[in-house]
Amino acid sequence: MDLLLIQSQEHDTLPLAELKAVLENENINSEIEVITNGLIHLKNLKKEEYVNNYQILARRLAYTHEILEIITIRDLEDYNNSLKENIETSNEEYIENMIEDFNTIDWNNYIEDNFAVRLKRFNKVSVDTVRLERKLGGIIKLATNTIVNLDAPTSFIKLIISKNKLFLTIRRFKLNKKHFQEMKPHKRPFFYPGSMNPKLARGMVNLSKVKEGDLVLDPFCGTGGILIEAGLIGAKLIGSDINWKMKNGTCINLEHYGLTDYKLYHLDVREMKLIDKVDAVVTDPPYGISSSTCGENNENIFYQFLDSIAKNIKKNGIITIASPDSLNLDKILNELNYELIERHEIKMHKSLTRIISVISKRD
């Protein structure tokens, strides 16, 4: 069974990297085909694990907007060539002819009480969206004797058209698109300027390949944004901050979201000596932008943090860390014998580009 993912196009590399990390971490075996930027085809998912895998992806992914089950695929290039011959026919007519073929599908296997049809274009494909939606909607309505419900359909059919392929899909599980809006820092009981947005926090947690039940540490926990996202996917949490107000504020925020499996400490990361080593570290250290560095320069903060944290993380544990583009992090990694696994650049605003680095301690 196959899935089609519509991903965010706000970053060039992060959405696909996040997907690959979650697939590996959750042991979801699938071949990945990148159709175009923002459109991913997951092939050959095991039928017996399909529903569970679909739900895992819908629950975890931050930079994926929709996950759709593929009903059928048409190759536009092959179809066009087979019809074209010497007849001058528009691309839109080709697609309309293709949709006409969908009347052979047993739509009663897909449609429940009511339905809606929507079309999304990639690669600037030029088609009459409304015309094609109505065409397919008419076929489904005739085949099932059900009604159209555009506001809250029980069955949601989506046509995805790229340069060379047409995907006919159905949405089985809906992603909560409002989650990251509702979880924004200023909506939490305890707020402090400069807090990381929840979508990026979730993405960093996923890059760390955190599993349900894993122990995750944020030694610069601030208002708790990273810990919240790790907790919501089932991780056990440890947080610390040199500022006691931040540590207490994180406690307030975690409790607000019903997260109770955590330990928080008011301490300097350089003094950290955990009894139980953690599976992953996900953190956004202070670097002087809307945050206090307690008089330390950026290079010292990152060097001392990475030197100390190696004693508190399991062998092969992953660290995902945010840093400013002005910092030469590679120099620190080499000096402390860390391996860089992957890196992503995220433009935050005119004066700040965040670098997200995924690293691990070498043997």
Return the domain boundaries, the chain: 3-171, 179-361
Give CA angle at 294 (289, 298), nearest 5°.
55
At 144, phi and psi to the nearest 5? -115, -15
Q: What percent of the chain has pLDDT over 90?
A: 82
Count the residues in the chain: 363
Nearest to 272 by CA among 280, 264, 262: 264
Residue 349's pLDDT band, with cuts at 50, 70 and 90, is confident
Looking at the predicted structure, is the pLDDT value of residue 243 above 60?
yes
Looking at the predicted structure, is the pLDDT value of residue 351 above 90?
no
Q: Mention every residue, 6+ apart, whose C-beta is less than 8 A from residue 19.
A: 5, 7, 32, 40, 57, 61, 63, 64
Looking at the predicted structure, is the pLDDT value of residue 213 above 60?
yes
* Contact predicate 335/361, CB 8 Å: no
Across 108-112, average pLDDT: 96
Across 334-350, average pLDDT: 92
Question: In DSSP terms, which residues pair with 158 in a beta bridge?
Answer: 118, 169
Name the 3-class secondary structure at 307. helix
Looking at the predicted structure, is the pLDDT value of residue 52 above 80?
yes
Q: Look over the chain and give the mean of its residue pLDDT values, rounded to a whole number.
A: 92
Q: Which pLDDT score is estimated for 163?
A: 87
Q: Which pLDDT score is estimated for 353?
A: 87
For domain 179-361, the question of CATH label 1.20.1740.10 is answered with no
Name the 3-class secondary structure at 94. helix
Q: Which pLDDT score is estimated for 287?
A: 78
Condensed to tens digits (0 to 9), the pLDDT of residues 216-232 reads 999 999 999 999 999 99
Any idea what DSSP says for residue 252? H
What distance lies between CA 283 and its chain's CA centroid? Answer: 17
- Return the CATH architecture of domain 3-171: 2-Layer Sandwich (3.30)
CA distance 57 to 66: 10
How many CA atoms are closer than 13 Å to the CA of 150, on its beta-carbon side? 6
Looking at the predicted structure, is the pLDDT value of residue 332 above 70?
yes
Nearest to 42 by CA among 196, 61, 251, 143: 61
Q: Which pLDDT score is estimated for 91?
A: 63
Q: Which pLDDT score is estimated for 292?
A: 52
| Angle in degrees, 0-180, between the axes of helices 198-207 and 14-25, rounded to the nearest 10 | 50
Condensed to tens digits (0 to 9), the pLDDT of residues 147-161 reads 999 999 999 999 999
Fold agreement (3-171, 179-361): no
Condensed to tens digits (0 to 9), the pLDDT of residues 252-308 reads 999 999 999 999 999 999 999 999 999 999 999 997 544 455 556 789 999 999 999
Q: Which pLDDT score is estimated for 290?
A: 45
Q: Which two tokens stand for residue 139?
A: 């076929």
Q: Which pLDDT score is estimated for 81?
A: 61
Nearest to 226 by CA among 210, 211, 207, 205: 205
Looking at the predicted structure, is the pLDDT value of residue 84 above 70?
no
What distance lies between CA 334 and its chain's CA centroid? Answer: 29
